[in-house]
């Protein structure tokens, strides 16, 4: 590959740090950028520590850039992040759905916004620390494949990134295992070689999603309402539907059971519960389908993941329109939650995905 100017999204973690180092090794001109996405209030060492793009992470990204001898800039995306990620996240919970903020962040900011910023400074490509692989199809369009390290694969979170943006992207760590990434970090002499991974939602550093939603919603926070079984018998009272998700068992405060959340009825402010057996579904619909692998077929045999951490399952996909489809699983799955993504594969190839309706 000829030498190109590459804008590397540096989160402050080891994966994006090694991505920058590998781009340098390939002979590219590398510019590091860290997105300032959220104000944590307290800018101390503890605030945002261990979270993606927190204050400590900005410091670490700057230290990595210094170690590599590359330019580094911090870009202010706070307003865009609130509009495209946090706002929709809050509204989805108010509507009784369970959102995935990382999908919105990847599409709107880590690719769309950075690709546009790269063009402004004459950069040819954007590189990230995502564990995915890119291959170009026979039609010339880029495709995404699952990472070599299946445990770390992140294709689930990139299912709706347009191919025009993938065409401008590099994923240097997708061919490596996590252990190999840390080995490269040590070889490069990077100060984040042993840094632990970020796991929680970056804008909720204390992990209390319910309290965060209540602060954001203010007077619009859903109030208490009935917890009911499938026969409309009132079993108790919930503390606001934003504090519950499909499949939840703990925190219901009900006698008998065990009870699991089956549905959230936002219009009537009800939480519907039942036995675990009632959580299993064989058929569901997806909307907002983004298909990465050419023209969508009328039907297709696929493997599907209904959550990032869930094992994949065999399924029949039947398109109802260009952007909606019905998924019929070979075996019923537990806790198919509206608002989560259903992502489709054939082997390692990411075919596309949509939102569980």
Other C-beta atoms closer than 10 Å to the C-beta of 211 total: 12
Rounded to whole angstroms, how far apart are CA atoms 233 and 255? 13
Domain count across the chain: 3
Residue of 52, 53, 102, 105 marked active site:
105
Does 197 map to a domain? no
Residue 43: pLDDT band by 50, 70, 90 thresholds? very low
Query: Which tens digits make up the pLDDT trace of 208-263?
Result: 899 999 999 999 999 999 999 999 999 999 999 999 999 999 999 999 889 999 99
Q: How far is CA 8 from CA 34, 42, 115, 342, in A?
A: 9, 27, 11, 29
Does 207 map to a domain? no
Query: Which tens digits make up the pLDDT trace of 256-280?
Result: 889 999 999 999 999 999 999 999 9
Does 124 map to a domain? yes
Residues 322, 267 within the same domain? no
Is 105 a residue of the active site? yes
Query: Which tens digits make up the pLDDT trace of 157-177?
Result: 999 999 999 999 999 999 999
Q: At 5, list the tokens.
A: 């100017």
Residues 157, 256 within the same domain? no
Residues 162, 260 within the same domain? no
Does 259 map to a domain? yes
Angle, alpha carbons 75-202-41 (nearest 5°):
75
Residue 73 belongs to domain spanning:
5-188
Residues 97, 181 within the same domain? yes
The reported pLDDT for the residue numbered 52 is 58
DSSP H helical ranges for the chain: 14-25, 55-68, 78-81, 87-94, 101-105, 114-120, 163-166, 178-188, 209-217
Taking a C-beta distance cutoff of 8 angstroms, is the pair 31, 8 a contact? yes
The reported pLDDT for the residue numbered 77 is 92
Does 194 map to a domain? no
Is 23 a residue of the active site? no
Rg value, the chain, Cα: 22
Q: Exposed e or buried b for every residue in 168-189, given b needs 16+ CB within 10 A?
A: bbbbbbbebbbeebbebbeebe
Residues 236, 345 within the same domain? no
Rounded to whole angstroms, how far apart are CA atoms 171 and 181? 13
Q: Please, what is the average pLDDT of the chain? A: 91
Q: How far is CA 315 from CA 115, 305, 327, 329, 331, in A?
A: 34, 10, 7, 4, 8
Other C-beta atoms closer than 10 Å to the C-beta of 8 total: 33
Higher pLDDT, 126 or 196: 126
Other C-beta atoms closer than 10 Å to the C-beta of 52 total: 22
Q: How far is CA 46 from CA 20, 59, 206, in A?
A: 26, 13, 11
Query: Which tens digits make up the pLDDT trace of 64-97?
Result: 999 999 999 999 999 999 999 999 999 999 999 9
148: CATH: 3.40.50.620
């Amino acid at each position: 590959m000829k030498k190109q100017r590459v804008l590397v999204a540096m989160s402050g973690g080891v994966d994006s740090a090694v991505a920058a180092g590998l781009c340098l090794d390939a002979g590219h001109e590398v510019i590091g950028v860290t997105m300032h996405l959220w104000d944590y209030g307290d800018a101390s060492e503890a605030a945002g520590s261990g979270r993606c793009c927190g204050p400590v992470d900005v410091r670490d990204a700057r230290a990595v850039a210094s170690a590599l001898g590359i330019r580094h800039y911090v870009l202010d995306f706070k307003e865009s992040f609130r509009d495209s990620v946090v706002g929709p996240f809050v509204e989805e919970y108010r509507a009784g759905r369970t959102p995935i903020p990382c999908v919105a962040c990847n599409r709107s900011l880590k690719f769309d916004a950075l690709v546009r910023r790269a063009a402004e400074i004459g950069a040819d490509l954007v590189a990230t620390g995502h564990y995915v692989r890119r291959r170009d199809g026979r039609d010339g369009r880029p495709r995404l494949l699952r990472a070599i390290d299946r445990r770390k694969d992140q294709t689930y979170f990139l299912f709706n990134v347009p191919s025009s943006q993938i065409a401008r992207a590099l994923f240097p760590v997708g061919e490596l295992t996590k252990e190999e990434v840390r080995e490269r970090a040590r070889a490069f002499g990077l100060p984040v070689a042993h840094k632990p991974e970020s796991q929680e939602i970056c804008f909720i550093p204390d992990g209390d999603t319910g309290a965060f939603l209540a602060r954001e919603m203010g007077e619009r926070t859903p109030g208490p309402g009935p917890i009911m079984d499938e026969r409309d018998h009132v079993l108790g009272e919930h503390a606001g539907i934003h504090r519950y998700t499909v499949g939840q068992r703990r925190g219901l405060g009900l006698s008998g059971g065990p009870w699991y959340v089956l549905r959230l009825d936002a219009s009537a402010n009800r939480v519907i519960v039942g036995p675990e057996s009632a959580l299993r579904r064989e058929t569901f619909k997806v909307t907002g389908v983004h298909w990465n692998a050419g023209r969508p077929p009328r039907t297709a045999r696929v493997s599907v993941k209904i959550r990032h951490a869930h094992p994949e399952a065999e399924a029949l996909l039947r398109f109802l329109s260009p952007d909606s489809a019905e998924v019929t699983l070979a075996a019923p799955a537990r806790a198919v939650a509206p608002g989560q993504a259903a992502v489709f594969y054939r082997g390692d190839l990411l075919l596309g995905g949509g939102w569980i309706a």
